[in-house]
Amino acid sequence: MIGSVGVIFGETGSHEIKFAVSDPAGVRRTDYVKVWHATDGWVLCQVLSMTRSSDGFGLAEAISEGTGHSVQKNADRIVAKAIVIGARDVQGLLRTPKTPFCPGDRVYPADSELITGTLGLTQGGAYIGLLDGTNLQVMVDRNKLVQKHCSILAMTGSGKSYTAAVIMEEMLEKEIPLLIIDPHGEYASLKQANDDCDIEELCQRFGVEARGYDNVTIYTPANLKVNDYADKVLRLNGRNLKPGEIIDYMGGDLSASEIGLIYEAVGEIRNDRMNYTLADVLREIGSMKSNMKWAVINKLEPLATAEFLADKPTPLEELFAKGRAAIIDMKGVNPDVQQVIVARLLSMLFEARKAGTVPAGIVVVEEAHNFCPERGFQKTTSSDVLRTIASEGRKFGMGLLIVSQRPAKVDKNVLSQCSTQVIMRVTNPNDLKAITKSLEGISSELEEEIKRLPPGVALLVNPDIPMPVMVQVRVRRSRHGGLSAEVSEEEVPIEEPVEEPAPAQEKPEAAAVLVEQPPKKSITESLFHRMFGKR
């Protein structure tokens, strides 16, 4: 029994074994163990559960009699259940034995080489962390992250953004372009080296070196007053927009007649000239006879005055470039506008990628439930493009890194395309259900495990690793947390709400249909007149 931790007993199969633990200090739940199989050699197994009882008299004696091994006589009985992972054959393919294991055979702790080789932990070089409870590095294939997308799902405070930053660092190390949609300004600190008080010890443990990344640029769609730690403003093209582009920006909240009005107005302008602004489109709509024009102006006016639309847009080639990360820091930007910006920016980026004018890379979407919500929760402008990138991105080398604390609220069409899943602690039953639904054959033990994961520990599901593995996510090279807490919060003036004046006289609806009435002067109308003068 030297070196062994237990002995197989009872009815055995080739997918699962039960063993009586002979060395309680030598084996714990989730540990990897090995068993010799007559045809397959050393086979890797993982302990799923352990039970201890004092009423199993007879079990140890039975095993002892059958095998000649002495097993914990006169003590509590500890029984472990382990799942059989398998062994690599000569071609490197993972196989599970075709015949059952023998009762009485010994179970040993698995050695590092067998674990790493069988689980395929070192493929592709993006270093995520250490296999929980070991010193074995877990790596995933960078290219597959680009081609097959990745999701990080966990409840708040469990280490989502920390882990997302670890993956971003791995991409930056290999100069893979990153575009990061950052609603809370959490990733600006990628620029600074990790200066945690215990950083030296952690770096030694995980085998990394602390560093900041100076090839990271923070863009704000607002302005440098609202976001004073941003490096640059993000501007999208606001000149000579086609009717379809204007409609996209307006977020799909238009009736067919309103859409018609926009086409008509832009058509009129383009008959005359090809160089125009949204203000010109507004003016053209204002000069139209249709009663509907006020509704359209009401919807278009915020766009015409939006800061993020400009004559000189930020070049996509600058935003998505080899060796660089562009953080789109949404601080101070209204959530509806954030979605419009994400929708437009990602549509243009995906087109540019298809045309080959930007390199292959990864788009990170934090708070993904707000940008691609599950049907039934809400409709957002950015849903369609994210769904398109999720399903077609792999053909063109555009990957998604989806991060969310509400997996149940993220579009399943997007989540189901993420072949790498990093799952951290989740306790909400709906979120847990959404996760386990997407993981084929997840055991009830693993489900329980997800509820109890400590911060910084993740369950990693990856196509190159034959089963989910528990990973202690490595320490960050760069500092964790946004820069926003360090800068003085500037007060953003809040506009007083303007009360709409009550209509002078209520008109019967039928009359309004039959007789064309001049529409009442709305806020939109007065704003319009203020901007362009009376018409």
Alpha helices in 174-292 (DSSP H): 199-206, 243-249, 256-272, 278-286
Least separation in angstroms between residue 323's CB and ligand ATP is 25
Q: Specify the DSSP class assigned to residue 188.
A: G
Half-sphere exposure for 135 (CA within 13 Å, toward CB): 6
Q: Give the count of residues interacting with ligand ATP (CB under 6 A).
A: 14
Residues from 405 through 444 that contact ligand ATP (CB under 6 A):
405
Indicate the residue among 154 and 265 with the shorter CB distance to ligand ATP: 154
Taking CB under 6 A as the criterion, the residue among 117, 323, 456, 519 binding ligand ATP is 456
Only segment of 43-51, 152-160, 340-348, 463-471 that touches ligand ATP (CB under 6 A): 152-160
Strands (E), 132-252: 137-141, 150-153, 178-182, 216-220, 232-233, 236-237
Using CB under 6 A as the binding rule, whether residue 462 contacts ligand ATP is answered as: no
The DSSP line for 54-86 is S--TTHHHHHHHHHS----TTS-EEEEEEEEEE
Q: Report how far residue 351's alpha carbon sits from residue 354's, in angstroms, rounded to the nearest whole number.
A: 5
Using CB under 6 A as the binding rule, whether residue 77 contacts ligand ATP is answered as: no
- For helices 256-272 and 278-286, what crossing angle results, to 10°? 110
Taking CB under 6 A as the criterion, the residue among 221, 480, 482, 528 binding ligand ATP is 480
Taking CB under 6 A as the criterion, the residue among 13, 66, 157, 267 binding ligand ATP is 157
Residue 178, φ and ψ in degrees, nearest 5? -130, 135
Using CB under 6 A as the binding rule, whether residue 302 contacts ligand ATP is answered as: no
Least separation in angstroms between residue 344's CB and ligand ATP is 26
Only segment of 155-163, 246-254, 302-310, 383-391 that touches ligand ATP (CB under 6 A): 155-163
Using CB under 6 A as the binding rule, whether residue 158 contacts ligand ATP is answered as: yes
Taking CB under 6 A as the criterion, the residue among 85, 341, 390, 473 binding ligand ATP is 473
Using CB under 6 A as the binding rule, whether residue 159 contacts ligand ATP is answered as: yes
Using CB under 6 A as the binding rule, whether residue 167 contacts ligand ATP is answered as: no
Indicate the residue among 4 and 163 with the shorter CB distance to ligand ATP: 163
Indicate the residue among 118 and 404 with the shorter CB distance to ligand ATP: 404
Q: Report how far residue 87's alpha carbon sits from residue 117's, in angstroms, rounded to the nearest whole number.
A: 9
Half-sphere exposure for 323 (CA within 13 Å, toward CB): 2
Least separation in angstroms between residue 85's CB and ligand ATP is 25
Q: Is the dihedral of CA 287, 292, 298, 302 positive or negative?
A: negative
Length of the chain measured in residues: 535
Least separation in angstroms between residue 146's CB and ligand ATP is 23
Using CB under 6 A as the binding rule, whether residue 404 contacts ligand ATP is answered as: no
- What's the 3-state SS for 90-124? CCCCEECCCCCCCCCCEEEECCHHHHHHHHCCECC
Nearest CA to 414 out of 391, 431, 437 is that of: 391
Taking CB under 6 A as the criterion, the residue among 116, 161, 381, 404 binding ligand ATP is 161
Burial string for 408-427 (b: 16+ CB within 10 Å, else e) reads: bbbbebbbebbbbbbbbbbe
Nearest CA to 439 out of 422, 412, 461 is that of: 461
Least separation in angstroms between residue 161's CB and ligand ATP is 3
Measured at CB, which residue is nearest to ligand ATP? Answer: 159
Using CB under 6 A as the binding rule, whether residue 154 contacts ligand ATP is answered as: yes
Indicate the residue among 13 and 157 with the shorter CB distance to ligand ATP: 157
| List of residues contacting ligand ATP (CB under 6 A) | 154, 156-162, 405, 455-456, 473, 475, 480
